[in-house]
A and B are shown apart, each in its own frame.
Chain A
Amino acid sequence: MKGKVLLMLHAHLPYVNHPDHPYFLEENWLFEAITETYIPLLMAFERLEKDNVPFGITISLSPPLIEMFAEHTLVDKYRRHLESLIELAKKEVDLTRKEETPKHEMALKYLNDFKEELAFFDNYNGNLLTAFKNVQRTGNVQLITCNATHGFLPLMKINPKAVHAQIAIGVKAFEERIGDHPKGMWLAESGYYPELDKELATQDVNFFFVDSHGLWYADVPPHYDVYRPVMTPSGVFVFARDPESSEQIWSAQLGYPGDSNYREFYRDVGFDRPFDYIRPYVDPSGVRTNTGIKYHKITGNVSLGDKALYNPENGLQTALNHAKDFVQKKASQVRRLKEQMGVEPVIVAPFDAELFGHWWYEGPNFLEFFLKESAKSDIFESSTPDRVLTSLDDVQILTPAKSSWGANGYNETWINGSNDWIYPHLHEAESRMSELASQYLNASDSLYIRALNMCARELLLAESSDWAFIMTTGTSVEYAVNRTNTHLSRFLEIYDAIKSHNIDERVIELYEWLDPIFPYIDYRVYA
């Protein structure tokens, strides 16, 4: 039996949707990720399918991402965004004729790639969920869900009903939009605490992922370290992150994405071109932003101004070399582990999906090469949790330890001096939500039901771990603070309206329009 390598890509962005603005800077997070990560990955999977390459990969689609894919105003905005990118690429093709040849060739490549992406997007009528559903049909790609709005559950556990709702709505969103019950769940930030598995078990979630020390410090030491799935006493399977694989990709010195031949992320025409020329393609307020058209390579340890021009062929060749190197490293790791273990190891390598393509331009090519090359290996195969679990004869039962994949492995990214002010408010809103749900369990007035559902949406949006995370990292802090305040104050406003029997339908209607996430939500999940 071959060893197994489980690549797990966690695709997630916070829910950013501002239908009241024709342009909103932070909506570009989604647009950039679609152009640079999601569509390139989907195209890579389709090519592998077409070539009949046997492979396995897992993708967790977070419910906010799923909801954004399904949101028409965002889909329309994205299409316009891509069209304007194509327009810019055309101008770049003209402009670079008089500049260095590699630049011109790269401009042609961008134009071609963007056009192909638009064709791909239109082919699915702008519905990327259909494209994802399509690639999972053969079982090579396994889609799983995530808890509702990516709330960080270890800091929510004092309100078990709020945790229950996060899990239940995560399952529900997947069922509604993908059409299947999700077998597995990626817990936001890999945040786990004992007891959480019981909640997953009651909702029929068959497996989840923890960080390495979740198993290392478990109540009983894991027999095979992190290299075989285990099962919790409540019957849910657990996969744990292999530190070696992450290190090989991420490490600042040795990691692949830092190779000098790869494209430089920070050098963008949005900053390089004269302002009058670039103005229509950056923030309308006049702030220069990234456009996605970049001509330079990482080059080495030089300042951005001294970066050399990018050569796409070298970039691609480097990605191929790195993929081959990674295959070799996985093969020798599997061989080594198998010798020690006596059974074939299961190596789990989870990553943020947006690393591939958005940050690491050649990342989707790297993955495609890796999956192709590993199909030739007789030491290991790329696989999915479903395939691994069906091949399992026996499993160790243990309870993983509290853990997350954040800095230092616990909660400090999501609770520290920069963001701890949110928790008194979140916890208060969570307990008020449960109070409302119990009190109005049998509500039949449609306006009350709408108001109660809207309360649930505002609470869920405020709970996104992204806001606390952004406050810690220090970029876009103002936006994250605003979003937290906005959702919490809307929650409190509607709460008061319900309690004082003074619900203004126009207000509810406005908020339903502004935050249309989870149209199928049922507030009773909080009771």
Chain B
Amino acid sequence: MREEKTIRQLKKEAMLLKIKGYYNMTKSELAEVISRRRMELSKKIRELDKMEIDELRKLSKEFDLKVPWKSARSTFVKKIKALFENLKLNGELEEQKFEKNKVPSQNISSFETQKVQNVNKAPETVISLPVSYFKDKFCGLEVNPNWIHFYWDFSPKNLEIIKEHSNLVLRVYDVTYIEFNGINAHRTFEMEIDEKMKKYYVFVPQSGADYIAEIGYKENNRFVPLLRSNLVSTPPSSAKIAQMELWMDLRSKRKFTEMSPSRKVLRIEKLVGFSSMPTSGFKSGGGSFFILSGRRGS
């Protein structure tokens, strides 16, 4: 079977097997060196359990396995075994296998709303907190300029009502500079929700804006609200346009204004760019005592 492979495939295989100098080899040379390497590795796999930790470290390094240097023997053995089995079992190594590790970047802006993907529940411990407080509660918390987190809880009375209405709806109103009366919002957004989720993250288009949300149900195409949230203000994400400045003379405690000020400091703003959409941000400050652990490990 192996003979049928193209030279490109063989080179790829040699690369994955960490064979040195494979690039300038001929097809037959490649085939031979690959089969020798495979024999050598299958011998190694039988010896893994007896290997010294230093040898394991060397081996994992050779194969670019990201095993922290301080890991226990068993971790090294496990990781190396997994890799070797992968190499041996498949006989051939397909490109896709390795590309699977690359997490496709997520284009957040294409979603209006996003269900919580990894609901990281507290691990099972002896202590368990109430699943519900059986009270009406609908709370909005701003995450950043464009995302709001909502969570809710219902009183038994409202739970009864919800049982009778299958399609629960979450509405978000843009009420920036408005005394909201239920119908005068700048914009109204709506989505169906699963009551049991008890929380959602919602994308809102405007930073530095005020939002109010309602949970309710639809009856004959009419929205019937059950709970209204607190006012949620998304943080601003850009500078305001210069206007009149207010100052105070600290000696006389007198306030004075300055008209049409010109900016004194030329600030170069950070331009953010990546070759693909980033998956998540990195930490810039705060709690370095914990954050650095495990960050620089090899």
Q: Please report the number of residue pairs spanning A and B whose Cβ atoms sit closer than 8 angstroms.
A: 230
Residue among B70, B264, B282 having the largest count of chain A Cβ atoms under 10 Å: B264
Task: Say whether A266 faces chain B, with CB atoms less than 8 Å apart.
Answer: yes
Q: What number of B residues sit within 8 Å (CB to CB) of A?
A: 79
**Residue in A219, A288, A402 whose CB lies within 8 Å of B142:** A402
Interface centre among B122, B245, B255 (most CB of A within 10 A): B122
Q: Bound state CA distance, A225 and B125, in angstroms?
A: 49
Taking CB atoms, residues of chain A closer than 8 Å to B251 are 393
Q: Cβ of B61 < 8 Å from any Cβ of A?
A: yes
Residues from chain A with a CB closer than 8 A to the CB of B127 are 482, 485-486, 489
Q: A424-B153, A466-B287 are in contact. Are A231 and B248 (CB under 8 A)?
A: yes
Tell me the bound Cα distance from A155 to B139 in angstroms: 11
Q: Which of B54, B235, B242, B296 is A402 in contact with, Cβ under 8 Å?
A: B235
Q: Is A85 an interface residue (CB 8 A)?
A: no
What per-residue 1/0 map shows which CB atoms of B270-283 lie under 8 Å from chain A? 00000000000111
- Neighbouring B residues of A359 by C-beta, 8 Å: 288, 292
Residues of A within 8 A of B129 (CB): 425, 485, 488-489, 492
Q: Is A54 an interface residue (CB 8 A)?
A: no
- Expressed in whole angstroms, the minimum distance between the Cβ of B131 and any Cβ of chain A is 10
Do B125 and A481 have beta carbons less than 8 Å apart? yes
Chain A residues positioned under 8 Å from B250 (CB to CB): 392-395
Interface presence of B220 (CB below 8 A): no
In the complex, the answer to whether A217 meets B137 with C-beta atoms within 8 Å is: no
Chain B residues with CB under 8 A of A225: 263-265, 267
Q: Does A341 reach chain B (CB closer than 8 Å)?
A: yes
B125 x A473 contact (CB < 8 A): no
Contact indicator B264/A224 (Cβ below 8 Å): yes
Q: Which residue of A lies closest to B72 (CB)?
A: A288
C-alpha gap A475/B263 in the complex (Å)? 44
Report B134 CB to chain A, min CB distance, Å.
Answer: 11
Contact of B120 among A340, A358, A471, A484 (CB under 8 A): A471
Q: How far is the CA of A217 from the CA of B292 in the complex (A)?
A: 30
- Indicate whether A463 reaches chain B with its CB closer than 8 angstroms: no
Q: Select B139's contact among A158, A475, A488, beta carbons within 8 Å.
A: A158
Contact between A221 and B141, CB atoms less than 8 A apart: no
Interface-centre pick from B237, B281, B292 (highest chain A CB count, 10 A): B292
CB pair B247 A394 closer than 8 Å: yes
A428 at the interface (CB under 8 A from B): yes
> CA A302 – CA B297 in complex, angstroms?
10
The residues of B that contact A358 with a CB separation of less than 8 Å are: 289
Given A223-B245, A303-B61, A485-B125, the answer on whether A217 and B238 have CB atoms closer than 8 Å is yes
Q: State A472–B140 Cα separation when bound (angstroms).
A: 20
Is B21's beta carbon under 8 Å from chain A?
no
CA distance A308 to B136 in the complex (A): 62
A410 and B145 within 8 A (CB) = yes
Judge if B298 is at the interface, Cβ distance under 8 Å.
yes
Contact with A along B232-275 (1 / 0, CB 8 A): 01011111111111111111000100100101111100000000
A319 touches B (CB below 8 Å): no
Q: Which one of A231, A265, A304, A342 lies within 8 Å of B264 (CB-CB)? A: A342
B291 at the interface (CB under 8 A from A): yes
Bound-complex Cα distance A499 to B111 (A): 46
* Set B137, B248, B282, B283: member contacting A395, Cβ < 8 A: B248
Whether B144 lies near A223 (C-beta < 8 A) is: no
Interface flag for B228 (CB, 8 Å): no
Name 19 A/B residue pairs within 8 A (Cβ), A-sorted: A158-B230, A217-B240, A220-B243, A266-B297, A340-B266, A393-B251, A394-B248, A394-B250, A395-B247, A397-B246, A397-B247, A407-B284, A409-B284, A410-B143, A411-B141, A421-B120, A475-B290, A484-B122, A485-B128
A interface residues, Cβ below 8 angstroms from B: 13, 29, 33, 154-155, 158, 189-190, 216-221, 223-225, 227, 231, 246, 250, 265-267, 271, 288, 302-305, 337, 340-342, 350-352, 354-355, 358-359, 392-398, 401-413, 415-421, 423-425, 427-428, 465-466, 469-471, 473-476, 478, 481-482, 484-486, 488-489, 492
List the 10 closest A-B pairs by CB distance, nearest first: A304-B69, A402-B235, A225-B265, A410-B144, A303-B298, A405-B285, A352-B288, A485-B127, A217-B236, A397-B246
